[in-house]
Amino acid sequence: MPSNTTAPPGKKTAKKGRRARLLLLVLVLALVVGIGFGGYWGVSTVRASFPQTTGEVRLDRLSADVEVKRDANGVPQIYADNEADLFRAQGYVQAQDRFYEMDVRRHVTAGRLSEMFGESQVDTDAFLRTLGWRRVAQEEYDKVLSPETKKYLQAYAEGVNAYLKDRDPADVSVEYAALAFTNDYAIEPWTPVDSVAWLKAMAWDLRGNMQDEIDRSLMTSRLSAKQIKELYPEYPYALHQPILGGGAVDESTGKFDPKARASEDEGTTDGDAAGAGTDGSGSSGSSGVQSQLSALSEVLDTVPALLGPNGNGIGSNSWVVSGTYTTSGKPLLANDPHLAPQLPSLWYQMGLHCRSVSATCRYDVAGYTFSGTPGVIIGHNDKVAWGLTNLGADVTDLYLEKIGPDGYLVDGKVKPFTSREETIKVAGGSDRKITVRSTERGPLVSDRSSELENVGRTAPVGNAAPDRGTGYGVSLQWTALQPGKSMDAIFALDRAKDFTTFRAAAKNFEVPSQNLIYADVEGHIGYQSPGKIPQRSKGDGTLPAPGWDSSYRWKGYIPFDQLPYEYDPERGYIVTANQAVIDEKAYPDLLTKDWGYGSRSQRINDLIESKTKDGGKISPDDMRTMQSDNRSEIATLLNPLLLKVDIADPYVREAQKLLEGWDYTQEPDSAAAAYFNAVWRNVLKLAFGDKLPKELRVEGDCINVRPADATGPVDEQNKLVRECGERDPDSAQPDGGDRWYEVVRPLLKQEKSEWWVTPANRTDPATETRDQLLARAMKDARWELTAKLGKDVSSWNWGRLHQLTLKNQTLGTAGPGFVQRLLNRGPWNLGGGEAAVDATGWNAAGGYDVIWVPSMRMVVNVGDWDKSRWVNLTGASGHAFHPHYADQTDTWAKGELYDWAYGKAAVDAAAEDTLVLKP
């Protein structure tokens, strides 16, 4: 699944493209003041919020005793006699461990961060209010979700509120004690809609290709259509297997048949996309519209990325192997979602058990969930196991709108906006009011940027348009802004008993669209693509579409029975790692044009095939080892060429020798991996990064270029200008993901290409060929690592460059260093890398720091559940200084797993604390 924080961004900087930091300056100062009072911040204050995990607690509205058993890592397993008590207890226990995290999350999803953290959050709140996550969640709860689901949500909320009852905020979490110095903030009761709204935030970060839409449009200011196409190559079906080996929609029934084979002439939907700022003809946009999209990109960067940087790196690995090929004779299932590193981890491990499973108490499930969300998201029950990875379906479209004082234009007619007023309450300040305007497609997101209001005045329009004074706007159509049943699906997945009931549950898993893999105790394995995925009348979603032309409307959604699935494939395994689901020739509907490019998935396929050839069997430990595989695919392509480049400089040659005999693994102590990745980063910068518009380059990266609107040779009129990058390092381009592998792959066969051409600088001559550019990249990498790691190449290692620091998601993200040292953990020197199976992601444009990780790992031994294994990124607790705050991270960093007790006897044997909740 499917990254950056669970907490609010800090005060927005004036620089474009900078992701809002989680700098809560006032809160930090309050902490400093508090420390000055000495004993107030002593051990008693810190420990006051630690949960009670033994003995007995009276809990309102329980109908019978509930047991909460916690193991050595503080992971709770809950035992109850009925479903309402089970979820009521789940709410209580999660609030014990993670309520502050839950509270911040609900303020994010509701656009109410300013109520906690003041005026610095107003702009972020305004954008979130414009999207209207909380409004949609309320509508889901009121009109769409089943009565049974609402009963569970209400019980969960009752459990949370039972924990909060009669507790001072400082007794809930130490962060509230700090907040009290500057704010009279009071904790509100938890509501069922608070839980539903979190799924909207999850969907936002897994929304698909919105940033790619913007980036492609912004590229038109610097690059030709041919060049842009080269930077977004087609998916390499011949090299990287899609998830499904076959299948097609049966024309006679309209249903997907997993055993069918498509004819060669079956195609995809209309591939013509409208260009940004066009009249529908596909011509490139003006500088005014480029500025609009740049400003929208800036706004997107200020929204808290709760799961991680949205883009090519966000994904996950999951795979399932049939018992035919396993040592146990039963299926094995692995999953590791790649999300942002957070403290506490995004995931919360737990088990939910009916003491006696029956028609009135049907749950016996364990796995990973989100704090604030009832049920289990990924895991297993007594019959089936499942995992999730991000499907990456294109479920968002941006529309350029011709707007005027009375509305927006569609087919030559002006339609009125749907409008509402929102009031943003601000801690320590006066209320702010905003007006949210929406078209028939969705909210007018451009209203949240003053720049977007102004630039449309100069945008040329190719046909009739309203008053130039308002010009273009930008609206967003997104499946998650329609009420759905994803919360129903979570509970149904937890109860699934076979592939039929599993698929029935998946039918309601509408957003975010995920790859679902499956295994059961009968030995079956399977796959299902769920999700509400649009069918477009025209266009392919790769560029913003003209809102004034109704032919670009969505005409509906792909029916569930036409979505791809697979059951017991002959090959005996299924791998999903964000690659293409199915060959586009075999499938009539467009899922997306922006897949992950399949480097991770193909490596997993190759590892499975190599292990099972000649009758070999895969063990649970083999699955764990595969999760830790850190081989670099781009190194297999590029490294042989680097070794052939003639390097005269002995200082650079010394570094080049590190690559001789390297096996392409990226271990933390590898000097070769450190140098190769630095070379790769510099190849990307020289060949591509310096040719991209400033809106895509990393903030502060300044180069001399021709003005974007210059024509003809460089002269006095078109002299070079200094342009500096504007984008946050985590989302800048080129990011070095496996899309760039496919960009570079064909170019490496060409000694000459326009991409290899770079201008001279003060120390290096211009390059005109591949080998000249590679030589320059190796030189630049040598000097870069000398500055970072020292002159002695034998002392270099990848882990010193590629570090993970876990940051407390409020006070620990910025501010005085001593505060960060108190609340943060790390750094850890990590192996792995971008697009490796061990996906410790980094952005090549921004640096080497780890920005997304396998946020948890699990290997499920189907049928012999107590031999399953798991690990979380951090720990069960969200309380700083608690023993379970980050107690799993060392194990995680080593690629190791803990035993996962599931059966009652195993849970009892592992239990170190038992708490009884009594009516």
User: In three state form, how does the secondary structure of 794-862 look?
Assistant: HHCCHHHHCEEEECECCCCCCCCHHHHHHHCEEEEECCCCCCCCCCCECCCCCCCCCCEEECEEEEEEC
Query: What is the phi/psi pair of residue 701, to 5°?
Result: -80, 105
Mean pLDDT of the chain: 87
Question: What Cα–Cα distance (Å) separates residue 327 from each residue in 223, 330, 616?
Answer: 53, 8, 9
Instruction: Supply 120's token pair.
Output: 């610095």
| Higher local confidence (pLDDT), 716 or 829 | 829
- Whether residue 297 has pLDDT greater than 90: no
- Whether residue 405 has pLDDT greater than 90: no
Q: Report which of 416, 348, 290, 420 is spatially closest to residue 693, judged by C-alpha positions.
A: 290
Query: What is the phi/psi pair of residue 622, to 5°?
Result: -65, -40
What are the pLDDT digits (tens) for 11-45? 333 333 333 333 334 444 444 444 443 444 456 66
Instruction: Supply 866's token pair.
Output: 């107590």
Question: What is the per-residue pLDDT for 176?
Answer: 85
Q: How far apart are CA 617 and CA 283, in angstroms?
A: 55
- Whether residue 9 has pLDDT greater than 50: no
Question: What is the per-residue pLDDT for 679?
Answer: 98
Q: Report which of 379, 691, 389, 677 is spatially closest to residue 513, judged by C-alpha positions.
A: 389
Question: What is the per-residue pLDDT for 15?
Answer: 37
Describe the strand order of the beta sheet including 347-354 as a list of residue ranges: 55-58, 913-918, 66-70, 76-80, 347-354, 364-370, 378-380, 384-390, 514-520, 525-528, 565-567
| Higher local confidence (pLDDT), 304 or 560 | 560
Q: Are 897 and 859 in contact (CB under 8 A)?
A: yes
pLDDT, mean of residues 545-567: 95
Q: How far apart are CA 777 and CA 755, in angstroms?
A: 14
Instruction: Supply 319's token pair.
Output: 């795979």
- Whether residue 1 has pLDDT greater than 50: no
- Whether residue 178 has pLDDT greater than 90: no
Question: What is the per-residue pLDDT for 267?
Answer: 39
Q: How far apart are CA 472 and CA 449, in angstroms?
A: 13
Three-state DSSP class for 447? helix
Q: How far apart are CA 833 and CA 291, in angstroms?
A: 33
Question: What is the per-residue pLDDT for 905?
Answer: 98
Residue type, 560: F
CB atoms within 10 A of CB 93: 27
- Whether residue 569 has pLDDT greater than 60: yes
| Higher local confidence (pLDDT), 781 or 341 | 781
Q: How far apart are CA 243 and CA 583, in angstroms?
A: 9
Q: Are 144 and 508 in contact (CB under 8 A)?
A: no
Question: What is the per-residue pLDDT for 818?
Answer: 57
- Whether residue 208 has pLDDT greater than 70: no
pLDDT, mean of residues 175-191: 85
Question: What is the per-residue pLDDT for 340?
Answer: 84
- 823 burial (CB, 10 Å; 0-12 / 13-18 / 19+) is buried
What are the pLDDT digits (tens) for 851-864? 999 999 999 999 99
Q: Report which of 736, 598, 698 is spatially closest to residue 240, judged by C-alpha positions.
A: 598
Task: Give me the percent of the chain exceeding a pLDDT of 90.
Answer: 70
Query: Averaging pLDDT over each range in 343-347, 387-391, 508-512, 678-682, which range is the top one?
Result: 678-682
Longest CA–CA span in the chain (Å) reads 84
DSSP letter at 650 equals H
What stretches of 790-903 show up as alpha helix (H) in DSSP? 798-801, 817-823, 889-893
SS percent in the chain: helix, strand, coil, step 5: 35, 20, 45
- Give the pLDDT band of residue 121 (cuts 50, 70, 90): confident
Question: What is the per-residue pLDDT for 35?
Answer: 45
Q: How far apart are CA 78 and CA 151, in angstroms?
A: 18
Which are the contacts of 610, defined by CB distance < 8 A and separation ≥ 6?
A: none
Beta strands in 273-383 (DSSP E): 315-321, 332-339, 347-354, 364-370, 378-380
pLDDT, mean of residues 115-129: 89
| Higher local confidence (pLDDT), 219 or 556 | 556
- Whether residue 637 has pLDDT greater than 70: yes
Query: Averaging pLDDT over each range in 308-322, 397-411, 604-618, which range is the top one?
Result: 604-618
Instruction: Supply 679's token pair.
Output: 């070379």
- Whether residue 821 has pLDDT greater than 80: no
- Cis (ω within 30 of 0) for the bond into 734? yes
Instruction: Supply 286's token pair.
Output: 């003006």
Q: How far apart are CA 775 and CA 765, in angstroms?
A: 11
- Whether residue 691 has pLDDT greater than 50: yes
Question: What is the per-residue pLDDT for 718?
Answer: 60
Question: What is the per-residue pLDDT for 676?
Answer: 98
Q: How far apart are CA 704 and CA 721, in angstroms?
A: 5
Question: What is the per-residue pLDDT for 404?
Answer: 83
Please report the sign of the dihedral spanned by the C-alpha atoms of residue 187, residue 192, residue 197, residue 198.
Answer: positive
Which residue has 């698929």 as its token pair?
A: 503
Three-state DSSP class for 620? helix
Question: What is the per-residue pLDDT for 763?
Answer: 86
Question: What is the per-residue pLDDT for 31?
Answer: 47
Q: Are 66 and 86 in contact (CB under 8 A)?
A: yes
pLDDT, mean of residues 660-689: 98
- Give the pLDDT band of residue 210 (cuts 50, 70, 90): confident
Q: How far apart are CA 285 and CA 228, in angstroms?
A: 14
Q: Report which of 19, 20, 198 is spatially closest to residue 109, judged by C-alpha positions.
A: 198
pLDDT, mean of residues 294-315: 57
Q: What global pTM score does this model have?
A: 0.91
- Give the pLDDT band of residue 289 (cuts 50, 70, 90): low
Q: Are 282 and 272 in contact (CB under 8 A)?
A: yes
pLDDT, mean of residues 441-448: 90
Q: Are 540 and 593 in contact (CB under 8 A)?
A: yes
Instruction: Supply 7's token pair.
Output: 């907490």
| Higher local confidence (pLDDT), 811 or 772 | 772
Question: What is the per-residue pLDDT for 314?
Answer: 58
Q: How far apart are CA 576 and CA 785, in angstroms?
A: 35
- 700 burial (CB, 10 Å; 0-12 / 13-18 / 19+) is exposed
Over the Cα atoms of the chain, what is R_g? 27
Range of lowest pLDDT (202-206, 581-585, 801-805): 202-206
- Give the pLDDT band of residue 707 (cuts 50, 70, 90): confident
- Give the pLDDT band of residue 810 (cuts 50, 70, 90): low
Question: What is the per-residue pLDDT for 613?
Answer: 92
pLDDT, mean of residues 219-229: 91
In the chain, what is the straight-line distance between the N-terminal and C-terminal CA atoms, in Å? 37
Q: How far apart are CA 458 and CA 427, in angstroms?
A: 38
Query: Averaging pLDDT over each range in 422-436, 491-505, 715-729, 803-817, which range is the top one?
Result: 491-505
Question: What Cα–Cα distance (Å) separates residue 379 from each residue in 76, 336, 853, 866, 905?
Answer: 15, 11, 19, 13, 19
What are the pLDDT digits (tens) for 260-278? 865 544 433 343 334 433 4
Question: What is the per-residue pLDDT for 462?
Answer: 39
Question: What is the per-residue pLDDT for 20?
Answer: 33
Q: Report which of 620, 656, 616, 621 is spatially closest to residue 639, judged by C-alpha positions.
A: 656
Which residue has 């529908």 as its token pair?
A: 280
Three-state DSSP class for 385? strand
Query: What is the phi/psi pair of residue 57, to 5°?
Result: -140, 135
CB atoms within 10 A of CB 571: 15
Q: Are 467 and 405 in contact (CB under 8 A)?
A: yes
